[in-house]
Every structure is written in C-alpha cells, then in structure tokens.
Amino acid sequence: MRVVYIDIDSLRPDHLGCYGYERPTTPNIDRLAQEGIRFEQAYTTNSPCMPSRAALISGMFGIKNGVVTHGSRGEILHRQYSTLPFVLRQHRIPAAAITSFGRHPSPWFYVGWNDFLDPIDRPELSFQQVAGQEVMDRALQWLKDHRDTPDFYLYVQMWDPHSVYEAPQSFVDAVRNDNYPAHPTPEQVQAHQKDSFWHSAPAMGIHSYEDWKRMIDEYDGEIRYADHQVGRLLDALKAFEADGDLVVILSADHGEEHGEHGVYVEHWTVHDGTQRVPLIVRDSRRKGKTETFGGLVYQIDITATICDAFGIEPLQHWDGASLLKQVTKEVPMRSYIVCEHGLYTAQRAVITPEWKFIRTYHPGIWDIPPIQLFARNDAWEQHNLANEYPKVVEELDHLLRNWEEEHRDGLDPAMINAAETPHGATYAESWTRKFQQDKVPMPIHFEQRKPEVR
C-alpha cells in the first residue's frame, strides 16, 4: 500500500470546481474528485497553520495536544503522545515529508520521518513563500527514487495559495471570468472603507469592489498554480496505482477570508471561510467510484484514515476516525463537531447539520459578540440569530461545555493562555497603530511573481 497526502495551505473548498465554483481554478483536483470521495462538510479542528498541523500529526484536538496557537505557546506538543510518523515507523512503514512547514517553527513536526526534505526556493522570501514548483520537483524525484518501495507514506505540502499572492500571471489570467463569490457585496466593500484596522479593506489596499475582484483573481490564480502542481503529481502516481494499491488524500490546513466579515486576506476566526476545508480521498481499491459524503468530518480523521489504509489500528487516544469507515458506516456519523481558533481571536464553534454556534473567549482587536448563532443554510454566515433562538444557543452551549470537560486535561491552560492575549492580536494591534499613522497598506501580491512553470 502507498498513501500520499497533498496538503494545500489556505485552500477554501468553495473556490474549487468540484465544490461548485464556477471559475476554472482546479481541473486536476476536479479529476481527483471524480475518481474518489468528496467530503462536503470537512472542518479543521484547530486553526490556523500551526495548531491545525499539530492536530493532524497527533490525531488529537488542540485542547489535548497543547497546541492551539502560534509563537512560543504553540511550539510544544505534549510529549506523552506519539505522532503519525512514529506510529508508522513502529510498523515499519517508510514515511517521508516534503515541506518547509517545520520552519514555522514547530520542532515536533520534524521528528519520526524516514525522509524530511525542506525545499529552498527564493532565499529573500519567507518559508511560507516556497513555490509549489520546488516542492513538487522534489516530490517527483522522491517517487522516482522509491519506485520499487512496496509500502510508503508521502506527505507533500504546498503553501500556495497562502498570501502573499504571487502566481505567474498566466495562471491569474486563466481563472478570470465574471463568476465572483457573492460576499462581500459591492455595498459591503464600500462600507468597509471606514475601517482602519489590520487586514481591513483599506489596510490591504482594497479601495473599491474592482480592487476586491482583482484580489480574488490573485487568490484564484494561486489555486490554479497549486492545481497545476497537483496534476504533475497525479500523473506520476499513475505508475504506482498500476502495480498496487494507492490512496491519495487532498485537503488543507484551513481556508482564507476575503472580507465576508470585514477582514481581508486572512484566517482569523472559526467562520467557515477559515475553518471549512476541502477533503478528497481516492482509493484505488474502490476502482474509481465517485461519491459525495455529507456527514460532518474532521481534518484529523485523515490521520486515522492513513493508518486504516495500512491496516494499523488507530491509537486509543486519537480523536479522529477513518474516513473510509465513516463512508461505509462502520463508524457512525457524528451529530456535531467542535472547532477552535486560537491566534487572532480565541473561539470555539459547535457545528451541527442545522446550526453553527460560536463562543468567543477573546475577540482580539475586533468588536465580536461573545455568542453567535448561524443557520447552516446561511452559507456566508451573515445573520447572527442568537437572540432569536435562545433555546438553540442553550443546547449548543451545553454541548460545548460537555465537550470541553471530556477532552481537556485539568484547566485547559493552552486555550486559557490563548484567550488571555491571543498571540496574533498583539501583532495586529501594533500594526493597526502603524497603519493609522503611516497609511501604508500591506501587500496582497509581490511585484516579482513566481516564475512561469517549466
């Protein structure tokens, strides 16, 4: 058995063709979805990048593994738990990672792999700007070197489309049409011009609805660029699928908001723009059967799925369940899930098929109600119904408190620390003061773009 996980940073599912987007962003990912299982309601347990990947590699909620934020409070993963690479090592399954994520810094991410390849792209840019071309070149070489390896796990992570957006111009041009997202509306973008905080419209150089559309073009161009790299990998994997079983998984660590709630080009809350992720599983043993699964699933279910593919029992303390077993109903569907954000705000959300309940422990620099309730058919989460449905609020808050009691160890110091002073909120506040003084916006894209693909 060979298992490959493609992890694409800041990728929203509603910007993918296979999830109904009407712009040509993802021809190769759409091809993968046509040959596999597409999960409609997949959520990362913890956002953003560091807590999300800590949850993934540990198979546990941040409330248990101790990583719910970035910075020094996000660098320590509870050591009494084994991570996925260690579990695979114990069963003699070679595991390789091709990623620059460990430079976040997250020392717990490096350990246990048989091979860890950290691409070096343009040294003048941050590690989050390593181009997908460089990542995929190394992935294809690793596959070539391991053509005769009967069992392996390969983790491939691309930062594209994480901001700053810098896709080659041809990819931006390729996605342009008039099918832009419904929110924010032109009226909302205009209303946001009065804001002057970190990642507000003016702070990102978005002074009109036309500016916003150009920003969406840039984001979608990044997705098209990442999709091109995915296509290269899928083509290389055809040979492996021809001579044995192969499972390919594609997902993201989190999404990206583009002004739906007044914050642009950032992942900052438990709103769906940040917390909902694409999730596709193609299993060669299913012979290309196309399926859509509508149940509530977690990104950490990927960890259990990988072990399931190798015939390894998930560890008892893991919080995820194999996606393959959920599809076949060997594992019952969840009636609700709980998600967290601990960087720019401190929040938890309870999500059911009908409702999304959000409790804000710390609002960061923004004016956010302590309680929010959204109907799930409010796709852009524009109408807070908490005052109209107090009974629903009471029921979902009860579920949240029970979940906290079940999963936390002692007083849950990780989230308490994050709630007292969110790591990103301190930075956002200082940057806001600087912007209000200097009026110099943050860049949405670099003038020097990634080179055209080879």
pLDDT, tens digit, 9 for 90 and up, residues 275-284: 999 999 999 9
* Closest to 263 measured CA to CA, from 362, 208, 195: 195
Q: Determine what percent of the chain is predicted with pLDDT higher than 70.
A: 96
pTM of the predicted protein model: 0.96
Q: What is the pLDDT of residue 424?
A: 87
Average pLDDT, the chain: 93
Distance CA 89, CA 441 (A): 47
Reported as type and span, the H/E element at residue 140 is helix 132-145
Banded pLDDT at 258 (limits 50, 70, 90): very high
Give residue-wise pLDDT tens across range 369-422. 999 999 999 999 999 999 999 999 999 999 999 999 898 765 566 666 666 778
Give residue-wise pLDDT tens across range 307-330. 999 999 999 989 999 999 999 999
Q: Tokens 């009407």 belong to which residue?
A: 22
Rounded to an integer, the average pLDDT of 110-131 is 87
DSSP letter at 387?
T
CATH class label, 2-334: alpha beta
Helices 209-242 and 132-145 pack at an angle, to 10 degrees, of 0
3 state SS of 308 = helix
Best-predicted range by mean pLDDT among 79-83, 236-240, 404-408?
Answer: 236-240
CA 221-453-166 angle, to 5 degrees, is 40
> DSSP string covering 20-73, please?
T--SS--HHHHHHHHTSEEEEEEE-SEESHHHHHHHHHHTS-HHHHS--SSGGG
Give residue-wise pLDDT tens across range 160-185. 999 999 999 999 999 999 999 999 99
Distance CA 106, CA 226 (A): 24
Distance CA 69, CA 48 (A): 7
Check pLDDT > 80 for residue 46: yes
Q: What is the pLDDT of residue 410?
A: 54
By the 10 Å C-beta count (0-12 exposed, 13-18 middle, 19+ buried), 330 is classed as exposed
* Closest to 278 measured CA to CA, from 313, 230, 240: 230
Q: What is the pLDDT of residue 357?
A: 98
Banded pLDDT at 426 (limits 50, 70, 90): confident
Q: Determine what percent of the chain is predicted with pLDDT higher than 90.
A: 81
> DSSP string covering 196-211, please?
-STTSTGGGT--SHHH
* Residues whose CB is less than 8 angstroms from the CB of residue 32 and which lie 6 or more positions away in sequence, other chains included: 230, 234, 248, 250, 280, 282
Q: Tokens 């007083």 belong to which residue?
A: 411
Reported as type and span, the H/E element at residue 115 is strand 115-117
DSSP strand E in 306-399: where?
Answer: 337-341, 346-351, 355-362, 371-375
3 state SS of 356 = strand
Q: Are 264 and 204 in contact (CB under 8 A)?
A: yes
Q: What is the pLDDT of residue 196?
A: 95
Residue 262 structure tokens: 């007044």
DSSP strand E in 215-341: where?
Answer: 246-251, 257-258, 264-266, 276-277, 279-283, 291-298, 337-341
| Between 169 and 72, the higher pLDDT residue | 169
Give residue-wise pLDDT tens across range 338-365. 999 999 999 999 999 999 999 999 999 9
Q: Which of 73-82, 189-198, 237-246, 371-380 has the lowest mean pLDDT?
A: 73-82
* Residues whose CB is less than 8 angstroms from the CB of residue 402 and which lie 6 or more positions away in sequence, other chains included: none
Distance CA 201, CA 179 (A): 21
Q: What is the pLDDT of residue 448?
A: 79
